Chain A
Amino acid sequence: MKKILILCVVLIIMMVPVGCQQMADPEVEYSDGDEGPVDNGEIKEVPGPEPEYADTIVLATTTSTYDSGLLNEIIPVFESRHGIEVDILSMGTGQAIEVGKRGDCDIILVHARDLEDKFVEEGYGTERRDVMYNDFVFLGPAGDPAEIKGSADLEEALQVMVEHMESAGVVFTSRGDNSGTHVKEESLWSYANVEAEEQEWYTSLGQGMGDTLITTNEMAGYTLTDRGTFLSMMDNLPNLEIVFEGDELLANPYGIIPVNPAKHPGVNYEEAMLLVDFFISEEAQEMIGEFGKDTFGQPLFFPDA
């Protein structure tokens, strides 16, 4: 038993040095703004005129903004300017909105217009602002066995797809996770008046955009994706190409909404508003428009504020 005690001690010694410095952090970072100046060496060094700011806000956003690398470019600029750290939660739009409804984040950046409007209407968010947009594109395997290419409009493309999928022996993979992309996909099926969800070839994955693209690539199937995620992952998706694009119904606007302090008094509303102001500022808008040009030859998102 002594050995087990020694074991425990060794484990503690192994873990605690890392633990101490990091365990101390959350307490400070998650203190509310209304507690006054935080007694923290870092904060004191910033001689800002508004010492009442909390030093961390939580942004719940979609995988497309984070996984593409966009936020890693923009957020650090905001952080160093205002001395406010931004913790980014990268999840599906459905989950991000739910986290916002519960008051577990201070601000959301998502893309599902109907859900966003509902979020504000129900009083969970204060005001929605346009940040940027890109568009959705339909991807398919090389050779386009369902013969969607060349369709005159979106309605035709979807109807052609539904007709040919079974005979071509290919699948359509859906996010199936109530994300912005999934919600969009559902609205497109109902727009074209086709019952895709009940078909044999319809595959509901329940996964994020990246996972869905990887799965679709392996299955050599069709899917709907935002252009940004596709471009950022294109090197890993040799079997897929764009088979339909450009319809105005495929627009994909991203909105930013601070969580309503009247609903959740604990949220850092003022700091969240600073982030909103930053996102719609000329500087950030320009960064959004430039992002991806050097790597992918074209921007992943277009400024929209």
Chain B
Amino acid sequence: MEAVNALKLLLTFDPYVYNIIGVSLQVSGIALLFSTLIGIPVGATLGLTHFRGKPFVTALLYTGMGFPPVVIGLFVFLLFSSVGPLGNLGWLFTTRAMITAQTIIAFPMVSGFTMAAVLSVDKNLMKQLQALGATRFQASWAAIKEARIGVLVAIIAGFGGIISEVGAVMLVGGNIAGKTRVLTTAIVLETRQGNFGVAIAFGIILLAITFIANLTMITLQKKHLFATE
């Protein structure tokens, strides 16, 4: 009941709450975009090519999926700290540092799942396409298209991983009210203050956002996901 009242309170057009939601979407959305733009080509390349040391790179990527976000946060913190190598950028305790951290967190998930999806595409398809005169790039593109559902799952996994992440954004963002406070760090703050109702309400908002984002992505792919071929 406490949570329901808090939820009502939060949704009564409170600018504080909307700012938190906005920053959450901004940080995780941009981070997802970056990790998708880098992760899909990397994952596809790993899935389609053979080279020495590929098992090593693959293992590295899968290890990255299980990397504790807070350690990545610490790494980004040290990177952007004023005495760190990129300290002069002044990115620490801004959304930019948070986006950097979340991009690094989402990248192994996006590329790893993309690789797995591309690997499951029939090998003969590539050979046939190339026999028919497709360039290497065209054939790769066709493989990604064929694996699109897996690629979609890769993007969804990446988004779920970072929108719900708290350790790294707390460390590099600093949970500054109105600037770097996101849903997860707001939940930590409210819990710390004993305001469990508000914390739960923020949690419900977070779940709702993730659900809507996933529904949107799935709806866009509905034809392919649920088609009876």
Contact B25 A14 (CB under 8 A): yes
Give the interface centre of A1, A11, A89 by most chain B CB atoms within 10 Å: A11
Q: Report chain B residues within 8 Å CB of A31.
A: 90
**Within the assembled complex, what's the spacing in Å between the Cα atoms of A208 and B191?**
11
Contact A236 B194 (CB under 8 A): yes
At the interface, yes or no: A145 with Cβ under 8 Å from chain B? no
0 or 1 for each of A1-20: is its CB under 8 Å from B? (1 = yes): 10110111011101100110
Give the interface centre of B22, B33, B82 by most chain A CB atoms within 10 Å: B82
Contact A67 B36 (CB under 8 A): no
Known A-B contacts A1-B144, A87-B179, A211-B192; A7 and B217 likewise in contact (beta carbons under 8 Å):
yes
At the interface, yes or no: B155 with Cβ under 8 Å from chain A? yes
**Within the assembled complex, what's the spacing in Å between the Cα atoms of A264 and B92?**
15
Contact A22 B23 (CB under 8 A): yes
Nearest Cβ on chain A to B45's Cβ, whole angstroms:
15
Find B29's partner among A11, A87, A102 (CB 8 Å cutoff).
Answer: A11
- B interface, how many residues as a size bin? 35 or more
Q: Spot the interface stretch: B50-58, B60-68, B128-136, B170-178.
A: B170-178
Q: Report chain A residues within 8 Å CB of B83.
A: 102-103, 264
Nearest Cβ on chain B to A121's Cβ, whole angstroms:
19
Contact A18 B22 (CB under 8 A): yes
0 or 1 for each of B15-30: is its CB under 8 Å from A? (1 = yes): 0000000110110011
Nearest Cβ on chain B to A39's Cβ, whole angstroms:
17
**Within the assembled complex, what's the spacing in Å between the Cα atoms of A31 and B196?**
38
Contact B148 A3 (CB under 8 A): yes
At the interface, yes or no: B220 with Cβ under 8 Å from chain A? yes
Nearest Cβ on chain A to B94's Cβ, whole angstroms:
4
At the interface, yes or no: B120 with Cβ under 8 Å from chain A? no
Contact B191 A26 (CB under 8 A): no
Nearest Cβ on chain B to A186's Cβ, whole angstroms:
22
Nearest Cβ on chain A to B73's Cβ, whole angstroms:
13
Known A-B contacts A102-B82, A104-B82; A3 and B221 likewise in contact (beta carbons under 8 Å):
yes
Find A15's partner among B29, B84, B148, B176 (CB 8 Å cutoff).
Answer: B29
Contact A10 B144 (CB under 8 A): no
0 or 1 for each of A21-35: is its CB under 8 Å from B? (1 = yes): 011011000111000
0 or 1 for each of B195-216: is its CB under 8 Å from A? (1 = yes): 1100000000000000000001
At the interface, yes or no: A266 with Cβ under 8 Å from chain B? yes
Contact A10 B189 (CB under 8 A): no
At the interface, yes or no: A252 with Cβ under 8 Å from chain B? no
At the interface, yes or no: B102 with Cβ under 8 Å from chain A? no
**Within the assembled complex, what's the spacing in Å between the Cα atoms of A23 and B30?**
11
At the interface, yes or no: A126 with Cβ under 8 Å from chain B? no
CB nearest to A105 among chain B residues: B93
**Within the assembled complex, what's the spacing in Å between the Cα atoms of A235 and B179?**
30
Contact B174 A1 (CB under 8 A): no
CB nearest to B223 among chain A residues: A3
**Within the assembled complex, what's the spacing in Å between the Cα atoms of A104 and B32?**
27
**Within the assembled complex, what's the spacing in Å between the Cα atoms of A18 and B94?**
15
0 or 1 for each of B140-169: is its CB under 8 Å from A? (1 = yes): 010011001001100100000000000000
**Within the assembled complex, what's the spacing in Å between the Cα atoms of A12 and B88?**
28
Nearest Cβ on chain A to B62's Cβ, whole angstroms:
23
Contact A18 B95 (CB under 8 A): no
Known A-B contacts A22-B23, A103-B82, A213-B194; A4 and B151 likewise in contact (beta carbons under 8 Å):
yes
Q: Report chain A residues within 8 Å CB of B93.
A: 58, 87, 89, 104
Nearest Cβ on chain A to B221's Cβ, whole angstroms:
6
**Within the assembled complex, what's the spacing in Å between the Cα atoms of A31 and B91?**
10
Nearest Cβ on chain A to B205's Cβ, whole angstroms:
15
Nearest Cβ on chain B to A11's Cβ, whole angstroms:
6
Q: Report chain A residues within 8 Å CB of B26.
A: 15, 18-19, 22-23
Give the interface centre of A26, A102, A213, A264 by most chain B CB atoms within 10 Å: A26
0 or 1 for each of A195-229: is its CB under 8 Å from B? (1 = yes): 00000000000001111011000000000000000
A-B contact pairs, 10 of them (CB 8 A): A1-B144, A1-B148, A4-B148, A4-B155, A19-B30, A22-B26, A26-B91, A30-B91, A104-B92, A210-B192
Known interface pairs A7-B152, A22-B23, A87-B176; 16 further A-B residue pairs with C-beta atoms within 8 A, sorted by A's residue number: A3-B224, A4-B152, A7-B220, A8-B36, A10-B220, A11-B29, A11-B32, A25-B179, A63-B192, A67-B192, A102-B81, A103-B82, A103-B83, A103-B87, A214-B191, A233-B194
List the 3 closest pairs (A to B, CB-CB), nearest first.
A15-B29, A236-B194, A210-B192
- The residues of A with any CB-CB pair to B shorter than 8 Å are 1, 3-4, 6-8, 10-12, 14-15, 18-19, 22-23, 25-26, 30-32, 58, 63, 67, 87-91, 102-104, 208-211, 213-214, 232-233, 235-237, 264, 266
